[in-house]
């Protein structure tokens, strides 16, 4: 019998009442392993009401006391890494090693958030004029929503939700309906850590739940990670409803390879960054840009056998380089793009279509694929494929490579591999990309720096985790105070200045 999942509202498991459910698959076998309830607008409203009541208690708690809960939650995350990794593997398909790496990135942000008493400090200016002191203070917003993607079912809820909760907000996570069990388990850990009931909620659902959050008058802020198409809708709909919205969307990340680059390092970096997690990362390197024909020929010669040797397998295969993609539709979409690339004239050096694995014949596996001689007008270059497909676009010189990067609609991440510091510095200054790696293939900043792209990879002014997250999840009050001194100066009808 297929298990039914639940929502987590007000500190307890709550059965879905909408009558609608979605299938949750094991990507390695293609089997339905559970049913996830899809919330109605009424169920979302119930979660918001519960969260709002909890917010009033949680936001009034001192920052050091909130920090103590965060420390306990962090310890529980560390103790449950193995269990979380298994949950992620069964529903997403990630290998255990990859799942643990992503969970650790979530733990890193939790550790950063434990310093919230320092992070939320305001500013003070004494005697700005006429015996007036001016100071600012940061305050929580209320109930904030987090709409999180399938590819990081632990890391992204932690990146969003931990920072929101640390700042004194209540949080409602609407996770992907493809792999909702890990976010539900996080809610159980929060309860064990002593978080007041209702501060962290999980509401499963589809567009109906998303629209309910976007339109709810008691949800002042929404954070989203997912595709650009959906993200743009969420940004415009949320801001139309006068909400604070941050959106992190799609990507097409390039690796520019200069002629002087260490080619052994380049190939290792490309393989790991391109096909790790079966390419299902918004920071995956999916485009290699070798500069010069000699560089391109050498890259193709070295890269082809490495892609051919890649091993895919189920989440619990310790020898697998990557697991399956998340759904059958994803597999079909990836293979469709490969066919389009061949038809458009790109040279397919390694074909990963038709992947099968004994004992897992119905799994959603894609082998590694490698294209060469692609051009900027091809769909395999323009679109985010989100699969283990590497595409090479050759550039004649440095300027052409920079223009190629800047000409793409996405601006999430980019890498340049070179031994030339001057070339790396000029590249970093000229590209319009949010996160840049110099001889670093996946330049995801650590928790105490900010994460975010540019162009159509991000909507909104703020970034994720780091200091920017404090600004997003809080509002600022500025207070000017003067205490009676017994001296009266009379009424002043002109604009106050520093002298009054």
pLDDT value at 72 more than 70: yes
pLDDT value at 495 more than 80: no
Mean pLDDT of 265-270: 97
Mean pLDDT of 454-459: 96
| Three-point CA angle 141, 145, 150, nearest 5° | 150
Asked whether residue 357 is domain-assigned, the answer is: yes
Q: Structure pTM?
A: 0.95
Asked whether residue 80 is domain-assigned, the answer is: yes
How confident is residue 2, by pLDDT bands cut at 50, 70 and 90?
confident
Catalytic residue among 114, 167, 282, 366: 282
* Bridge partners, residue 390, by sequence: 370
pLDDT for residue 255 = 98
pLDDT for residue 248 = 97
Same domain for 243 and 262, yes or no, is no
Asked whether residue 206 is domain-assigned, the answer is: yes
- The residue behind tokens 């070339």 is 423
Mean pLDDT of 239-257: 97
Residue 225 CA to residue 173 CA, distance in Å, equals 12
pLDDT for residue 1 = 61
What Å distances lie between residue 498 and 132, 134, 351, 481, 493, CA to CA?
9, 11, 71, 13, 15
Domain count along the chain:
2
Task: For residue 334, give every residue at least 6 positions away whose Cβ sits within 8 Å of its Cβ, in sequence order, or none.
Answer: 325, 366, 385, 386, 387, 388, 389
Asked whether residue 485 is domain-assigned, the answer is: no
Question: Among candidates 111, 107, 99, 101, which has minimal Cα distance to 78?
Answer: 107
What Å distances lie between residue 474 and 41, 49, 139, CA to CA?
26, 20, 5
Residue 58 CA to residue 79 CA, distance in Å, equals 25
**Domain CATH number, residue 312:** 3.40.309.10
Asked whether residue 125 is domain-assigned, the answer is: yes
Which of 405, 438, 471 delimits the end of a domain? 438
Same domain for 211 and 269, yes or no, is no
Asked whether residue 486 is domain-assigned, the answer is: no
pLDDT for residue 487 = 59
Active site residue 282: yes
pLDDT value at 256 more than 90: yes
Mean pLDDT of 28-49: 98
Asked whether residue 300 is domain-assigned, the answer is: yes
Same domain for 243 and 267, yes or no, is no
Q: Chain centroid to CA 135: how far?
A: 34
Question: Which of the 8 DSSP states describes residue 278?
Answer: G
What Å distances lie between residue 30 and 76, 94, 322, CA to CA?
32, 15, 17
Asked whether residue 154 is domain-assigned, the answer is: yes
Q: Which run of H or of E encompasses 468?
A: helix 466-472
Average of per-residue pLDDT values in the chain = 96
pLDDT digits (tens, 9 = 90+) for 110-144: 999 999 999 999 999 999 988 899 999 999 999 99
Question: Among candidates 2, 174, 181, which has minimal Cα distance to 90?
Answer: 181
pLDDT for residue 172 = 98
- φ, ψ of residue 225 in degrees (nearest 5): -130, 130
pLDDT digits (tens, 9 = 90+) for 147-157: 999 999 999 99
Same domain for 104 and 146, yes or no, is yes
Residue 385 CA to residue 282 CA, distance in Å, equals 10
Order of strands, sheet of 389-392, starting from the edge strand that comes earlier in the sequence? 347-350, 369-372, 389-392, 285-290, 253-257, 413-417, 435-438
Same domain for 182 and 233, yes or no, is yes
Q: Which run of H or of E encompasses 58?
A: helix 41-60
Q: Chain centroid to CA 94: how far?
A: 16
What Å distances lie between residue 13 and 35, 187, 199, 201, CA to CA?
15, 10, 14, 10
Same domain for 339 and 369, yes or no, is yes
Residue 454 CA to residue 441 CA, distance in Å, equals 18
Print the domain residue range for 261. Answer: 253-438
Same domain for 290 and 189, yes or no, is no
For 3: left if phi > 0, alpha if psi spans -120 to 50, otherwise beta; the answer is beta
Residue 221 CA to residue 144 CA, distance in Å, equals 5
| Three-point CA angle 74, 223, 105, nearest 5° | 35
Same domain for 136 and 284, yes or no, is no
Same domain for 285 and 245, yes or no, is no
pLDDT for residue 447 = 94
Token pair for 385 = 């494929």
pLDDT for residue 491 = 76
For 362: left if phi > 0, alpha if psi spans -120 to 50, otherwise beta; the answer is alpha
Residue 48 CA to residue 9 CA, distance in Å, equals 9
What beta strand segments (E) does 276-384 contain?
285-290, 347-350, 369-372
Name the least confident of 37-51, 124-138, 206-220, 422-436.
Answer: 124-138
pLDDT digits (tens, 9 = 90+) for 321-332: 999 999 999 999
Same domain for 215 and 276, yes or no, is no
Same domain for 394 and 421, yes or no, is yes
Same domain for 279 and 424, yes or no, is yes
**Domain CATH number, residue 52:** 3.40.605.10
pLDDT for residue 235 = 98
């Amino acid at each position: 019998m297929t298990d039914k999942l639940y929502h987590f509202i007000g500190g307890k498991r709550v059965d879905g009442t909408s009558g609608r459910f979605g299938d949750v698959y094991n990507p390695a076998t293609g089997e339905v392993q559970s049913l996830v309830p899809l919330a109605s607008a009424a169920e979302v409203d119930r979660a918001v009401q519960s969260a709002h009541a909890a917010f009033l208690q949680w936001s009034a708690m001192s920052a050091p006391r909130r920090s103590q809960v965060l420390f306990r939650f962090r310890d529980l995350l560390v103790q449950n890494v193995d269990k979380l990794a298994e949950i992620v593997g069964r529903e997403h398909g990630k290998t255990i090693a990859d799942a643990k790496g992503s969970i650790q990135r979530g733990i890193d942000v939790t550790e950063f958030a434990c310093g919230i008493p320092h992070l939320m400090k305001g500013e003070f200016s004494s005697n700005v004029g006429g015996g007036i002191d001016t100071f600012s203070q940061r305050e929580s917003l209320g109930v904030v929503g987090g709409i999180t993607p399938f590819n990081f079912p632990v890391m992204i809820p932690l990146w969003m939700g931990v920072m929101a909760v640390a700042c004194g907000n209540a949080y409602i996570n609407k996770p992907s309906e493809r792999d909702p069990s890990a976010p539900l388990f996080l809610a159980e850990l929060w309860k064990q850590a002593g978080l007041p009931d209702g501060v962290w909620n999980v509401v499963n659902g589809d567009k109906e739940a998303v629209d309910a959050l976007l339109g709810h008058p008691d949800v002042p802020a929404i954070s989203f990670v997912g595709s650009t198409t959906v993200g743009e809708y969420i940004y415009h709909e949320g801001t139309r409803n006068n909400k604070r919205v941050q959106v992190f969307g799609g990507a097409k990340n390039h690796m520019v390879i200069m002629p002087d680059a260490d080619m052994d390092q380049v190939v290792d970096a490309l393989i790991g960054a391109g096909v790790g997690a079966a390419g299902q990362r918004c920071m995956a390197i999916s485009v290699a840009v070798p500069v010069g024909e000699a560089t391109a020929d050498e890259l193709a010669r070295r890269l082809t056998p490495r892609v051919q040797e890649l091993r895919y397998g189920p989440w619990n295969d310790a020898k697998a380089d990557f697991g399956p993609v998340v759904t059958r539709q994803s597999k079909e979409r990836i293979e469709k793009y490969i066919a389009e690339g061949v038809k458009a004239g790109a040279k397919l050096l390694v074909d990963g279509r038709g992947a099968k694995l004994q004992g897992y014949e119905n799994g959603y596996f894609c082998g590694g694929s490698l294209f060469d001689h692609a051009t900027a007008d091809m769909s395999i270059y323009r679109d985010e494929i989100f699969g283990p497909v590497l595409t090479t676009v050759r550039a004649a010189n440095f300027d052409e490579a920079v223009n190629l990067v800047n000409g793409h609609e996405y601006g999430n991440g980019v890498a340049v591999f070179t031994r030339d510091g001057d070339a790396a510095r000029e590249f970093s200054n000229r590209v319009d990309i949010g996160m840049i790696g110099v001889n670093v293939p996946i330049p995801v900043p650590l928790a105490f720096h900010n994460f975010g792209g540019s162009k159509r990879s991000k909507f909104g002014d703020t970034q994720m985790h780091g200091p920017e997250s404090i600004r997003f999840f809080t509002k600022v009050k500025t207070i000017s105070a003067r205490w009676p001194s017994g001296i009266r100066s009379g009424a002043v009808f002109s604009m106050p200045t520093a002298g009054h």
